[in-house]
Chain A
Amino acid sequence: MAVKMRDYSLTGPENKLAQEKGLATADWYISPIPRQRLKELMKRKDGPAIRDTIIMFAWLIGTGMLAYYAWGTWWAIPAFAIYGISYASMADSRWHECGHGTAFKTPWMNDVLYQIASFMDLRPPTPWRWSHARHHTDTYIVGRDPEIAMTRPPVWRIIFGEIIHIYGGTRDLKSVITHCFGRLTAAEKDYVPVSEFRKAVWISRIWALILLGFITWSILIGSILPLMFVGLPTFYGPILLLLVGLAQHLGLREDVLDHRLNTRTIYINPFFRFLYWNMNYHIEHHMFPMVPYHALPALHEELKFDYPAPSPSLWAALKEVIAALMKQKNDPSYVVDRPLPATANPYYYGA
């Protein structure tokens, strides 16, 4: 017998159902932390993000030059792999942190890097800003959260397709094209306020011009080399971003009001943490989105007493996710429940 899948769209019946159950825009569990300590951790700084942004662009220029000079040889494959994975991963994390407005203390710096990073990952900045706001309001509430990475039961074709970002990338490009015609998609209309439509439309039109410029350049010189640096990295370099993205929430619960139940904190190596801007501390980020990326390790130390043990590595997290997804193929209700330490408050399942 085929396993029935819930309707994960924002325009289907689950949206209304979630609202009726009190799961939409609900009060979530928050771990206790002294206000004074939280204020210290929330404090904004420009220094760390300026340093990291300089390193990011220096790294991309360096690896980009290696890839350029390797073009036409077999060395181009590892060179572009390093460039593309760095490009897509750093663009994603900078998009995310600047979207929250927490990377820099100075607001315009957040806005500028947000726009650049959004373009690098071909992620329309206005709808995605609102989509992510909804993801924080209704994290993994079916019918409400537009950023649920995978349904239950999972569709493996989509997960494997995302190695080259074929589904997400195509969706975003379709969205850009739709905006160019002065419209937003039906799902976007559910979470983007009307007052923001015009901005979304004009940014997409500017993007279309830039991308057409790169496509024309590639045609004129008879080589895809220009597009290997801008446009295509989001399709050939998303593997790390995909893996950490899958590990954030999958295999855990849906429709609960406690981020400890639906989100995973993972220990990863310092290089990945730099690329990912500490988003491996994901429970901490969801529970306290005002805390900037550079303070998340300290927040993690503060809240250990109330959180399930972190996954010891990305590999360990992925093994847990893949095992859970395989079980969910036949039993969509299967979830991983992690024990809490004796010092923790009990889980809050919500409505």
Chain B
Amino acid sequence: MQELLQWVEACEADAIDEEDVIRFDHGDRTFAIYRTAKGSYYATDGYCTHEKFHLSEGLVMGTIIECPKHNGRFDYTTGAAKRTPVCVDLRTYPVKLEHNKVFIQI
């Protein structure tokens, strides 16, 4: 059965600093919303795929997010795992900007 996707308002665009990440919870799910130094926005699952630690506490370096607990890394624009102990890619979500608000499709 096809999954029904919806656009959900996550935050104000300026709620995220450049080259940073914040947490967004929706229902029983949690996400990480990123803003690059160039002002683009991305969204991924909130928890690291290695162990259950939230990426919003981590460090953004360019398009890389580093997990706060074990320093595993992902490219948050693609979800690709980039450094052990991370071995499994991160799920990403489409993002759009409307009226200075960030929406993610989930």
Q: In the bound complex, do residue B85 and residue A101 qualify as a contact, i.e. CB atoms below 8 Å apart? A: no
Q: In the bound complex, do residue B70 and residue A136 qualify as a contact, i.e. CB atoms below 8 Å apart? A: yes
A196 contacts the other chain (CB 8 A): yes
Q: In the bound complex, do residue A137 and residue B69 qualify as a contact, i.e. CB atoms below 8 Å apart? A: yes
| Residues on the B chain within 8 Å of A195, using CB | 87
Question: Within residues 120 to 148 of chain A, which ones have a CB less than 8 A from any CB in chain B?
Answer: 129-130, 133, 136-137
B101 contacts the other chain (CB 8 A): no
Which of A25, A30, A35, A100 contacts B71, CB < 8 Å? A100
Q: A126: shortest Cβ distance to chain B, in Å?
A: 9
| Residues on the A chain within 8 Å of B66, using CB | 101, 290
| Residues on the B chain within 8 Å of A290, using CB | 58-59, 66, 68, 71
| Residues on the A chain within 8 Å of B85, using CB | 129-130, 133
A102 contacts the other chain (CB 8 A): yes
Q: In the bound complex, do residue A39 and residue B51 qualify as a contact, i.e. CB atoms below 8 Å apart? A: no
> Interface on chain B toward A: helix, strand, loop, or mixed SS?
loop
Question: Within residues 43 to 57 of chain B, which ones have a CB less than 8 A from any CB in chain A?
Answer: 50-52, 57
Q: A257: shortest Cβ distance to chain B, in Å?
A: 13
B40 contacts the other chain (CB 8 A): no
Q: B89: shortest Cβ distance to chain A, in Å?
A: 13
| Residues on the A chain within 8 Å of B50, using CB | 133
| Residues on the B chain within 8 Å of A35, using CB | 20
Q: B17: shortest Cβ distance to chain A, in Å?
A: 8
**Once bound together, how far apart are the Cα atoms of A133 and B53, in whole Å?**
13
| Residues on the B chain within 8 Å of A107, using CB | 83
Q: In the bound complex, do residue B84 and residue A289 qualify as a contact, i.e. CB atoms below 8 Å apart? A: no
**Once bound together, how far apart are the Cα atoms of A195 and B84, in whole Å?**
11
Q: In the bound complex, do residue A129 and residue B84 qualify as a contact, i.e. CB atoms below 8 Å apart? A: yes
Q: In the bound complex, do residue B84 and residue A196 qualify as a contact, i.e. CB atoms below 8 Å apart? A: yes
Residue of B nearest to A43 (CB): B59
Q: B75: shortest Cβ distance to chain A, in Å?
A: 12
| Residues on the B chain within 8 Å of A25, using CB | 51-52
Q: In the bound complex, do residue A137 and residue B70 qualify as a contact, i.e. CB atoms below 8 Å apart? A: yes
A247-278 to B contact mask, C-beta < 8 Å, 1/0: 00000000000000000000000000000000
Q: In the bound complex, do residue B52 and residue A289 qualify as a contact, i.e. CB atoms below 8 Å apart? A: no
A44 contacts the other chain (CB 8 A): yes
**Once bound together, how far apart are the Cα atoms of A104 and B52, in whole Å?**
26
**Once bound together, how far apart are the Cα atoms of A288 and B50, in whole Å?**
17
B35 contacts the other chain (CB 8 A): no
Which of B51, B84, B87 contacts A137, CB < 8 Å? B51
Which of A39, A101, A133 contacts B73, CB < 8 Å? A101
Q: B62: shortest Cβ distance to chain A, in Å?
A: 11
| Residues on the A chain within 8 Å of B70, using CB | 133, 136-137, 289
Task: Enumerate the 4 nearest inter-chain pairs by beta-carbon distance, A residue then B residue, closest first.
Answer: A133-B85, A42-B59, A133-B70, A101-B71
Known: A39-B20, A137-B70, A196-B84. 7 other contacts (CB 8 A): A101-B66, A136-B69, A136-B70, A196-B87, A288-B68, A290-B59, A290-B66
Residues of A within 8 A of B (CB): 25, 30, 35-36, 39, 42, 44, 100-102, 107, 129-130, 133, 136-137, 193, 195-196, 288-290
A-B pairs with beta carbons under 8 Å apart, 30 shown? A25-B51, A25-B52, A30-B57, A35-B20, A36-B17, A39-B59, A42-B59, A44-B61, A100-B71, A101-B66, A101-B71, A101-B73, A107-B83, A129-B84, A129-B85, A133-B50, A133-B70, A133-B85, A136-B69, A136-B70, A137-B51, A137-B70, A195-B87, A196-B87, A288-B68, A289-B68, A289-B71, A290-B58, A290-B59, A290-B68
